[in-house]
Structure 1
Amino acid sequence: MYRVVRGIQPVGQGTFYTEIHNIKAGDEHCVVFDCGSKGGMECLEKSIKDTFIKDQVIDALVISHFDKDHVNGIVHLDKRCKIRNIVIPQFSNRKWFYIVADFVSRGGRSVNMDVCNLTIFRRRGIRTIEVKPMDDEDRGNGERTIELSLEGGESITISSGTRIKLLGSINGNDSNAKWMYMPINCTLGKDIARLEAKLNAVVNGFASLSADAMKNAIENHGGDINKAYKDVFGNSNASSLCLYSGLDDARLQIPLCIYSTALYWRRNGNSTEACLYTGDSELRNLTKLSCIDRMLGTLKMRIGLVQIPHHGSIENTDTGIFDLFLNRIMIFFMSYGIGNKYGHPSQYLIDMLRIKNNRVVEVTQEKRYVEMIEIG
C-alpha cells in the first residue's frame, strides 16, 4: 500500500503545507510547501515538531515566494530537519525584482536587500532549483522530467511545467505510475522586462546597480518605483509558484481512497488525489490562468484539492477558477489567521465556491486539515 499524508497545517496568517509519502517500512519521503506565518510563530514551531521527528529528511522544500509569512519559519524547519533540495522562483539575475516586490509589499516603508539568502543553503550543499517564469521557454504540458537526488547536488534552473519525480514506481500495481511535483512560476517574464524598462527610466541601469546603490535608489525614488511596479503588476503578489502534486498520468485508472479530517469526508475514486498549491498567485489574470491551464493539460482532471491563494483574498481569485477545472465539484482550502488585520478571507468568495456545491475548508491557527491517500 502506497500512502500519502497531506497536512494543511494550523499556522494562522501564513502557509505551511506538508506531504509525507510512506512507500514501505523505513522508506519515507517528505515535501514541504512554504513555511512561514505572521503572528503565529508559536503555532508554526509546534506544527513543525508535531509533524517531523528530529533530523527527518525533507526531500524538497518548495518556496512559492519570499514574503515573510511564507518563509520566516524556514530557520526553525532547518533546525529540526535535514533539507536536501529547495525549489524557488527564478532568482539568479533577478534579485532586484524580488527586492522591489518586497518593498512594495511593505507599503514602501522599508528596504530589505536580503529577501532570499541562498548562500547559506549552497554552502551546506543544499541544492537550489530555480523555476523560470511560465512564459519563458514555455514547454507546455511538462515535457521535461528530472529526478531529485536525496544528497543535493549542483544547483539548476528549470522551465515551468518541468516534472520533478522524487520517488520510484507506486507499489502495489503493475503500472509505472509515479508521484510527481510540477512547479509553475506564475510570474510573466514579459512583465518583468516591462518593469525593468520602467525602473531604468527612473534610475538608469537600476537592475545592475550594486546592493548599496540599489538601496539608495529605492530610498530616494521610492514613490516612483512603487508606482512603476503597480503600473505593471497591480499588486505585490505577482511573483509566486503554483505546484501540482499528484500522479503523473492523467489517463491512469488506479484504485485509491482518500480520507480527510474535515467532517470525515471521504473521496472514493481513481482520479482526484492531486492538489494544486497556489501560494499567493494572482489568479484573476486571464493570461496567467490560460498558461496554467496549458501547462497542466489533462492533469487538471486529477486535481481534487485546490488552495485558494493569498489567504482567501478576493484580490487574487474570482469565479474564473471554476472554468480552469471545468466546473467540477472540488474541495477548496484557504489558510488565514483569525482576527487578521487584512480582512481575510473574503466571505463573498467562500459563498461563490459553496454555491457551486464545492466544499470549502478554512484552516486557521486553531484547526488543521489532513488527508490520507491510499493507492493500490
Structure 2
Amino acid sequence: MIRSFLPVGQGAFYTEQFDCGVNVVYDCGSSTSRSAIEKQIACTFESREKIQAVFISHLHEDHINGLPFLLSHCCVERLYLPFLTEEEILLTRLIARLENTESEFLSKLIVDPYGAVQDYTLPVDTQTPEIFYVMPQDSSRRPGGNVGAVPSGKAVDLTVSDTDSDWGYVPYNFQNTRRSKAFFRGLKKNGYDKKTLQAYLETSDIFSYDWDDIKRIYQKYAPGSLNSNSLVVYSGPLTPDHRQIRPYRFFMPDLTEPQSGRRTGYPDGCLYLGDYDAGTKENWDALTGELSAYMPSVGTVQVPHHGSMHNYNEELSCGQFVLIISAGYQNKYKHPHTKVLKDMLMKKVIHFWVTEQAGSMVQFQIEEK
C-alpha cells in the first residue's frame, strides 16, 4: 500500500492506495488554490478510477472544496461524513459566513448531502455514492433520508487486500463542545440567540456591523478557528497480533539511512486527525482513550489543524510517531506555529511540512505481511 500526503497547500488531501486496486481518501480541499487540489486529484487518479471510501473530517472549505471535482473525475463508492446536530449545522454555516467561505456546495451538503453529491456524480455511474454519517459516541439518533449511519469506533468494512484481511479503517466523530459552547455563550451574552442567528443566515439584508460584531465575539471566544466536530480516522491493523514495529520505506532520499537519535522503525498504522482540538489534556485523553486499542499500532499522525498551537499537544512528539503537517507555504494563519515546530525539533521527532510545492509531497510504502 502507498500512503500519500499530497501537496495542496492550506488544506488536506491524503490517499491510501492498495495493490489490489482499493483506494481510500481522507479529506479533499485547499484554501490556497482550488486549482491546486483539482490538479492533484487528476494527477493521483485516472479518470473514472474507483475510490472505495472517502472520509471527510469536517465541513470547512479547506477540507471539502475539492470534493465536487473528485466526484466528477472518479467513481466514488462511499462517502463518510460526521453527523451534525441542528446546533452544529447552525455553527458550521455561521463560521463559513464569518470566514467568507460559504459555497453553494457546502450549504447543500449540510442539509441535503445526497442531493449535493448527486449533482456532481459522473453521469456514467449507475448510482450516486452511498453516504454514511459517522455518529458521535453514545448517540441514539439516526439520520433520515438516503443517508446511512455508522457508530463511532466501528471498523468500516473494506477488503483492502487479498492476503491481509486485518487492515481496516475506524472512524470516530468527536464533538468539539468546549469551544462551541464558549462561542454560543459569548453570542448570548451579547444579545444574539440561535433564532436570530438562523434568521441572519437566511437573508442578506443584515447590517455589516452585525457581522463584524459576531466576528469579534468569534475571535474572542474561539481563538484559533472553530469546527463543531472532527471525524478522526485510524487506518491500520485491527488485531493485536499484527502490531509489529518495522521500518517504513520512506520515499525521501535523506531518510534512506538511519539518522542519529531517530528510530528506524515505526508501526504501520496512521491516525488522521483533521482539525481535532487536541490542545487540552481532557481532549487528548478522550482521543487516546477511545483509540486505546489501536494506539500501539500508530506510527504516523497527521498533526491537527495545519500545525496550529491551539490544536497541538506535546504528546504528539513523544517519539512514537512520524508527524505530518499540511499547511500553505506562505499562509496568512502562520501555520505551522513556531512553538509547534520548536517542540518537534527539540525532541528530534521526524516531521514533514507538506505545502503546495510539488517537492513537499510525502509518501510511505507499507508492505503486506
**TM (normalized to structure 1)?**
0.78
Match of 2:236 in 1: 246
Is 1:222 the counterpart of 2:211? The answer is yes
Match of 1:85 in 2: 78
Is 1:99 the counterpart of 2:99? The answer is no
CA shift at 1:272, angstroms?
A: 0.6
Once the two structures are superposed, residues 318-371 of structure 1 have per-residue CA deviations (whole angstroms, 9 ceiling, x without a partner) of 31434xxxx333211111222222222223312211322210112122221111
Query: 1:158, 1:199 → 2: CA distance?
Result: 33
Which of these residues, 23, 26, 41, is aligned with residue 30 of structure 1?
A: 23
Match of 1:19 in 2: 16
Which of these residues, 195, 201, 222, is aligned with residue 206 of structure 1?
A: 195
Alignment CA distance shift 1:250-1:233 (3 Å):
farther
Match of 2:122 in 1: none
Q: For 2:72, what is the secondary structure of its paired residue?
A: helix
User: What are the residue-to-residue correspondences of 1:172-191 with 2, within 5 Å?
Assistant: 172=163, 177-188=165-176
% of aligned pairs identical? 24
Which of these residues, 22, 31, 34, is aligned with residue 41 of structure 1?
A: 34
User: What are the residue-to-residue correspondences of 1:140-151 with 2, within 5 Å?
Assistant: none
Alignment CA distance shift 1:229-1:351 (3 Å):
closer
Is 1:130 the counterpart of 2:133? The answer is yes
Range with greater deviation from structure 2 (12-21 or 223-232):
223-232
Letter in 2 for 1:126: P
CA shift at 1:121, angstroms?
A: 1.9
1:19 touches 1:32 (CA, 8 Å); kept in 2? Answer: yes
Which of these residues, 51, 61, 66, is aligned with residue 54 of structure 2?
A: 61
Alignment CA distance shift 1:33-1:103 (3 Å):
same
User: What are the residue-to-residue correspondences of 1:1-376 with 2, within 5 Å?
Assistant: 4-23=1-20, 28-91=21-84, 93=86, 94-104=88-98, 106=99, 114-117=106-109, 118=113, 119-121=115-117, 125-134=128-137, 136-137=138-139, 154-167=146-159, 171-172=162-163, 177-188=165-176, 202-203=191-192, 206=195, 209=198, 213=202, 221-222=210-211, 225-226=214-215, 233-238=222-227, 239-253=229-243, 258-262=248-252, 263-265=254-256, 272-322=267-317, 327-366=318-357, 367-376=360-369
Query: 1:344, 1:236 → 2: CA distance?
Result: 12
Query: 1:20, 1:207 → 2: CA distance?
Result: 46
Query: 1:287, 1:199 → 2: CA distance?
Result: 25
More helix by share: 2
1:218 touches 1:225 (CA, 8 Å); kept in 2? Answer: no
CA shift at 1:12, angstroms?
A: 1.7
Q: RMSD of the alignment, in Å?
A: 3.3
2:243 touches 2:297 (CA, 8 Å); kept in 1? Answer: no
Letter in 2 for 1:97: L
Query: 1:220, 1:240 → 2: CA distance?
Result: 31
Range with greater deviation from structure 2 (307-316 or 247-256):
247-256
Query: 1:336, 1:212 → 2: CA distance?
Result: 30
Q: For 2:26, what is the secondary structure of its paired residue?
A: strand
CA shift at 1:281, angstroms?
A: 1.8
Match of 2:123 in 1: none
Letter in 2 for 1:338: Y
Range with greater deviation from structure 2 (210-219 or 241-250):
210-219
Query: 1:111, 1:334 → 2: CA distance?
Result: 25
Structure 1 gaps of 5+ residues are 139-152
CA shift at 1:259, angstroms?
A: 0.9
Q: For 1:314, what is the secondary structure of its paired residue?
A: coil
Query: 2:200, 2:80 → 1: CA distance?
Result: 24
Alignment CA distance shift 1:364-1:196 (3 Å):
closer
More strand by share: 1
Alignment CA distance shift 1:236-1:349 (3 Å):
closer
Alignment CA distance shift 1:370-1:281 (3 Å):
same
Query: 1:53, 1:250 → 2: CA distance?
Result: 36
Q: For 2:240, what is the secondary structure of its paired residue?
A: coil
